[in-house]
Structure 1
Amino acid sequence: MDVRILGGLSVSENGVSVTPTAAAPRQLLALLAACADQVVPVSVLMDEIWPSGAPRGARAELHSHILGLRALIAAALPEAQDRTAGAAGTAGAAGTAGAAGTAGADGPDGSDGGAGRTPETVLSAQSGGYRLDTGGGSHDVWQFERAAGAGYRAMEAGDLARAALRLGEALALWRGEPYAGVDAGPRLRTEAERLEISRLSVLDQWVEAQLGLGRHAEMVPELAVLAARHPLNESIHAQFMVALLRCGRTDDALLAHQRLCAALRADGGREPSARLRRLHRSLLTVRDSARPRVPAQAQGSRPRTAPRPASHPQAQAPTQMQPQTQAQAQPVSLPPVAPYRPSAPRPALAGAAAVGAAV
């Protein structure tokens, strides 16, 4: 059995879809698929379908939905496919079709293709609940979690290239919102929120790996889209600002900070976190350091000169004091300020921390 949840519910057995179109059976299958290979109590299933309270006859209706799912599974099992093919033609054609069915009993991945599985074993009643047996098939949530775990371990080991690869593989499994097209109850909504939080965590670490590899210019367009899609996500905005800074676009980074602050204030008067405030101060420091400092004389101020000597000979200053007066009249030369150059990316630092140790 193959289960797809990350972007719409899709469950197939032996390559044949067993996903119902009716709302209640579809919701029931979604919860069983979320807990695949585990027993889901009847009370949990009923709370999902009837969150405001189960009506009279709810248990019988639930059992009816289970029978409907088993009918879809039965039609997808190899035996049912062989019977359909055998009844379609003559005895000779039936023999050919039967041989083809036997040869095709192995699934695309080399498994037994469902041999020995029955509707009652695929969707079985156990210990006061029901269990959906995948038979060792694929599940995109499990694949996502395995790839994400490998990416996290690579990040901890400092292998940014492998981390970016595995975390990218995890994100590529997402086709849209989890359980899209399903009338989710409280259980499925909680599971969908958990998956979305996990996706954002993987996305955060994937961006950190990309920035650590020096791919700032490549990440700016994607981070711009992510910042627009998540206007209140401080982590994404911080990474966007860091990428802009490392591309020499300090003013654009400050503008991104302004947009985030405006969105936070509109969302109940929130203020940016301490991390964002430190990043903002660092951006201001970088901007001010990059501006050349102009001496006072160049700004239009008149240089100081020695006082004009009086015309009376006795009022003139002593000759030995004149050199000192002339020295005081010279304008002060300021050392030139070196232009700011962003430092090379350091893999050990992540996100906003790469701007400076204080961020």
Structure 2
Amino acid sequence: MHPDPGPLSIGLLGALSLRLGQTPVKTSAPKQRQVLALLALNAGRVVTVPTLIEELWGERPPRSYATTLQTYILQLRNALAAASCGNPYARQMLSTRHHGYLLEEDACQTDVEVFDRLALAGRAAAEAGDHRLASEELSRALRLWRGPALVDVRMGSVLEIEAASLEECRLGALERRIEADLALGRHADLLGELTLVTARNPMNENLCAFLMTALYRAGHVGRSLQAFHRLRSVLNRELGVEPGPRLQRLQAAILSGDPALEAGSRPREEVAASRSDGVL
């Protein structure tokens, strides 16, 4: 009787990593890693052969695509078996199903799954008004990221969409964590981080609103207004549009010295706008 080979741990939030128990699983061929990444992102769900073909070769698959894809699957199973010292159950983690392949959900855990769970807990805490718990859960979720999603994996059209979706989830979690920290009066501690992330996302109105609020609360009224004008300039130049109503109301509140901008409260307009934007 063979012992359980241990859980299969897969890291996707950064460089692709694969461990079976405590043993690294070696996957070096670029297309083999594409297959692994796509299977891992869909753990517990069948990834169809047409989807794998689209990812690997786009609209021009080779004539031998079926045999080549089967070879990549065999190589992955061999890698799992080698990491488990030949345990046959390791091969069964990657199963063949009708029209596709499936990475068994019960046998593996991905950092994406953990991130989603923590981000959901953080959002629930924010909705309940528990900003401290929201900040803690979302911070734990964000610490799972070791760089851009699948940073060392060659990506076709399918993985590019998956990676872009993950990056949007990351940004959403970051926005919610920053908002929770602002609610906790941590505006001074956020200035460095907000300056960096707004520079990296120069057209993101949520992040700009947070930076403007943090600067205002820290006593930097002029810099707060400068942040608004930088965003306005970028939007005008790149898209030919003005900042949205939320930012314009925030600018007006700063110009008038609205007491509701102080730590612990926000103008009613800003609260309503942030909820409609999906930021809680």
Calculate the TM-score normalised by the size of structure 2.
0.88
Q: Which residue of 2 aligns with 1:56?
A: 63
Within the candidate set 250, 264, 277, 1:345 is matched to 264
> Per the alignment, do residues 349 and 195 of structure 1 end up closer, same or farther by CA in structure 2, a change over 3 Å counting?
farther
Within the candidate set 273, 277, 285, 2:248 is matched to 277
> Per the alignment, do residues 71 and 216 of structure 1 end up closer, same or farther by CA in structure 2, a change over 3 Å counting?
same
Question: In 2, Cα distance between the equivalents of 1:351 and 1:207?
Answer: 19
1:320-339 maps to which residues of 2 (within 5 A)? none
Residue 138 of structure 1: how far off its partner (Å): 2.6
1:25-64 maps to which residues of 2 (within 5 A)? 25-64=32-71
Question: Within the alignment, does 1:15 sit opposite 2:28 as a pair?
Answer: no
Of the structure 1 ranges 33-42 and 164-173, higher mean CA displacement relative to structure 2 is found in: 33-42
Deviations 1:136-183 (A, max 9, x none): 443100100110111111111111111110011111111111111111
Query: Identity over the aligned pairs, expressed in percent?
Result: 38
Residue 15 of structure 1: how far off its partner (Å): 2.3
Report the residue type matching 1:170 in the other structure: A
Report the residue type matching 2:138 in the other structure: L
Question: In 2, Cα distance between the equivalents of 1:63 and 1:140?
Answer: 27
Partner secondary structure for residue 8 of structure 1: coil
Residue 253 of structure 1: how far off its partner (Å): 0.2
1:79-94 maps to which residues of 2 (within 5 A)? 79-80=85-86
Question: In 2, Cα distance between the equivalents of 1:350 and 1:7?
Answer: 38
Report the residue type matching 2:133 in the other structure: R
Partner secondary structure for residue 52 of structure 1: coil
| Conserved 8 A contact 2:213-2:261 | no
Give the number of equivalent residue pairs: 265
Question: Within the alignment, does 1:175 sit opposite 2:146 as a pair?
Answer: yes
Within the candidate set 208, 213, 225, 1:254 is matched to 225
Residue 135 of structure 1: how far off its partner (Å): 4.1
| Conserved 8 A contact 2:182-2:263 | no
Partner secondary structure for residue 71 of structure 1: helix
Q: Which residue of 2 aligns with 1:202?
A: 173
Residue 53 of structure 1: how far off its partner (Å): 2.7
Question: In 1, Cα distance between the equivalents of 2:160 and 2:238?
Answer: 23
> Per the alignment, do residues 123 and 349 of structure 1 end up closer, same or farther by CA in structure 2, a change over 3 Å counting?
farther
Q: Which residue of 1 aligns with 2:122?
A: 151
Partner secondary structure for residue 131 of structure 1: strand
Residue 133 of structure 1: how far off its partner (Å): 2.3
Question: In 2, Cα distance between the equivalents of 1:350 and 1:142?
Answer: 35
Q: Which residue of 1 aligns with 2:210?
A: 239
Question: In 2, Cα distance between the equivalents of 1:61 and 1:167?
Answer: 41
Calculate the TM-score normalised by the size of structure 1.
0.69
Residue 19 of structure 1: how far off its partner (Å): 4.2
Partner secondary structure for residue 27 of structure 1: helix
Question: In 1, Cα distance between the equivalents of 2:269 and 2:116?
Answer: 23
Deviations 1:204-256 (A, max 9, x none): 11111101011111111111111111111111011000011111211110111
> Per the alignment, do residues 222 and 351 of structure 1 end up closer, same or farther by CA in structure 2, a change over 3 Å counting?
farther
Question: In 2, Cα distance between the equivalents of 1:343 and 1:244?
Answer: 11
| Conserved 8 A contact 1:212-1:349 | no
Question: In 2, Cα distance between the equivalents of 1:19 and 1:145?
Answer: 26
Within the candidate set 89, 102, 113, 1:117 is matched to 89
More helix as a share of residues: 2
Partner secondary structure for residue 12 of structure 1: strand
Partner secondary structure for residue 146 of structure 1: helix
Residue 185 of structure 1: how far off its partner (Å): 1.1
Question: In 1, Cα distance between the equivalents of 2:108 and 2:31?
Answer: 25
Task: Give 5+ residue unaligned stretches, structure 2.
Answer: 1-7, 273-280
Question: Within the alignment, does 1:190 sit opposite 2:161 as a pair?
Answer: yes
Question: Within the alignment, does 1:266 sit opposite 2:237 as a pair?
Answer: yes
Q: Which residue of 2 aligns with 1:357?
A: none
After the TM superposition, which parts of structure 1 deviate over 2 Å for at least 4 consecutive aligned residues?
14-19, 133-138, 340-344, 348-354
Report the residue type matching 1:345 in the other structure: G
Task: Give 5+ residue unaligned stretches, structure 1.
Answer: 81-114, 290-339, 355-359
Aligned residues: CA RMSD: 2.2
Residue 203 of structure 1: how far off its partner (Å): 0.9
Residue 343 of structure 1: how far off its partner (Å): 3.6
Question: In 2, Cα distance between the equivalents of 1:70 and 1:238?
Answer: 49
Partner secondary structure for residue 137 of structure 2: helix
Report the residue type matching 2:97 in the other structure: Q
Question: Within the alignment, does 1:127 sit opposite 2:127 as a pair?
Answer: no
Residue 265 of structure 1: how far off its partner (Å): 1.8
Deviations 1:40-87 (A, max 9, x none): 11111111101123221111111111111111111011x43xxxxxxx
Question: In 2, Cα distance between the equivalents of 1:28 and 1:141?
Answer: 17
